[in-house]
Structure 1
Amino acid sequence: MSTTPFVLAAELAAAWADIQRHHPELPNLAAPESLIGESSSACGTELSFERLLHEAVHGIAAARGVRDTSRAGRYHNRRFLAIADEMGLDHSEQPHPSSGFSLVVMRPETKRRYRTTIERLQRALGAHTKATAADTAKSFRGPAARHGSSGGGVRVKAVCDCGRNVRVVPSVLAQAPITCGACGEPFRIPEVMAVG
């Protein structure tokens, strides 16, 4: 098995830690590997440092107890926008009709602040893309890929032993375990548990 996903997960964790140095209230990134394998997020952006900053805005909102989205997490409201502004992200003046202010971009000074981190992450993403391009048809790629969707895959419910659950793309869960912060056990897809 290639070490590329592990290298990318390590680079994602390092990039997140760099963001935390500038924004200490940002919670730890529990499972960097959960970002790998998804070609798009709810706001339609590919995995990048800019996307990581977007996710960090949600992390800070959660730490502050701020509800920054509605419509099942698709519509990013002005509270999201205010935190994005604090983190050096710009936005359009008018919200998108279905996703609100989700499309944020780094300001020039933000790019300068994180330049080294951005370069490292881009190299890891490039290596990961090159390694996964050689993927064979026998690799598990998730329901959306099997049915010809160009999206990141359909999220399903995964549960842990203490009863908590998360929504995850099965191919992401197949890459590495995602562990529950409460009980320390891995999340599993119920259908897989019943078969296994």
Structure 2
Amino acid sequence: MATDTGTDHGSTIIRALEGAWDAIRRHHPDLPGVVMVTGHGRTPGDDAVTWGHHWPGRWTAADGSAVRPELFAGGELLALGSRRIMQTLLHEAAHALATVRGIKDTSTGGRYHNREFAKLASALGLQPPARPDEQRRGFSNCSITDETITRYAKAISALDSTVGHRIEDPVARLIASQASLPEETLPPVVELRPGAIGTDLPARPEPARRTTVPRTGRRLAVVCRCASHQVRDAHGGSRTVEGPRRIQATPGLLDGGPVLCGVCNAAFEPEN
């Protein structure tokens, strides 16, 4: 049986993220140094993913000489490719600049991103939405511009070649795909190779369901692979509609395993 004796997988990821952060700091010298961390950004059953966060003053030097902010990049983010990783790092850099400059860039516990945040994000090379979104997150959903991708081409290429591990979470990917731009194509899902190291390990038990956090009831749109399907009309008859069937499913349902279409027998998945 093949074994994996390496212990540097995590440090390789961190070094890659640190390299990208250093590239941003070269263009924006007033950005602080950070303690870079990663891990899972979504708990099974939840309908939200933490792609990244900036936490001022989170870490303290062992000798008490300094405090440093934490910069978190979720393992689910790493599965979306280097463009999304750099976009998230720039988003968190806007929060870091706001802290350094004493600017209030969010409200409602950090959820709502105001116009001051949008200005900082623009200065860092992101394109804020034209108006606040309908999810009460304000101008949070900023996208990286082509000019910025060119500016950080070397760092993005390094992320592509260095980040060798990620968290493949179908629900997180579905949430990401529904927030992607029309011209953006997310990387394909990484499939386990036959005989992959670790595939003979016992399945991990599902984490206990959390009851202390209220559910939002958010549902995600998924489609099957039907080329056409039948729908009922207002008069009790039926008609043929081209394209796949579409349903709404909760993250908890999708976490439980594939949801199959009774017509084509394929699993409902995000629409490409």
Give the TM-score taking structure 2 as reference length.
Answer: 0.46
What is the count of residue pairs matched by the alignment? 142
Paired with 1:72 and 1:103, the residues of 2 have a C-alpha distance of 17
Q: Counterpart of 1:128 in 2: which secondary structure? A: coil
2:26 maps to 21
Q: Which runs of 4+ in 1 moved over 4 A?
A: 42-45, 133-140
Paired with 2:112 and 2:16, the residues of 1 have a C-alpha distance of 29
Asked if structure 1 preserves the Cα contact closer than 8 Å seen for 2:51 and 2:88, the reply is no
Paired with 2:204 and 2:92, the residues of 1 have a C-alpha distance of 28
More strand by share: 2
Give 1:146's match in structure 2, choosing from 186, 199, 207. 207
Asked if structure 2 preserves the Cα contact closer than 8 Å seen for 1:42 and 1:73, the reply is no
1:11 maps to 16
1:106 maps to 144
Closer/same/farther in 2, CA of residues 70 and 130 from structure 1, 3 Å limit: closer
2:50 maps to 41
- CA deviations over 1:39-63 (Å, ceiling 9, x no partner): 5327899351110111111011100
- CA deviations over 1:106-164 (Å, ceiling 9, x no partner): 11110000011012113333x11289x85866879xxxx72479xxxxxxxxxxxxxxx
Written as runs of structure 1 = structure 2, the 5 A alignment for 1:180-195 is none
1:73 maps to 110
Closer/same/farther in 2, CA of residues 42 and 36 from structure 1, 3 Å limit: closer
1:84 partnered with 2:121:
yes
Asked if structure 2 preserves the Cα contact closer than 8 Å seen for 1:42 and 1:74, the reply is no
Q: Larger RCO: Structure 1 or Structure 2 (Cα < 8 Å, ≥ 6 residues apart)?
A: 1
CA RMSD in angstroms, aligned pairs only: 3.2
1:58 partnered with 2:119:
no
Aligned residue type for 1:7: T
Instruction: Return the offset for 1:86.
Output: 0.5
Paired with 1:137 and 1:94, the residues of 2 have a C-alpha distance of 48
What are the ranges of 5 or more consecutive residues in structure 1 without an aligned counterpart? 150-196
Larger Rg: 2
Asked if structure 2 preserves the Cα contact closer than 8 Å seen for 1:5 and 1:36, the reply is no
What are the ranges of 5 or more consecutive residues in structure 2 without an aligned counterpart? 1-5, 43-48, 53-73, 79-84, 169-191, 193-197, 211-272
Give the TM-score taking structure 1 as reference length.
Answer: 0.62
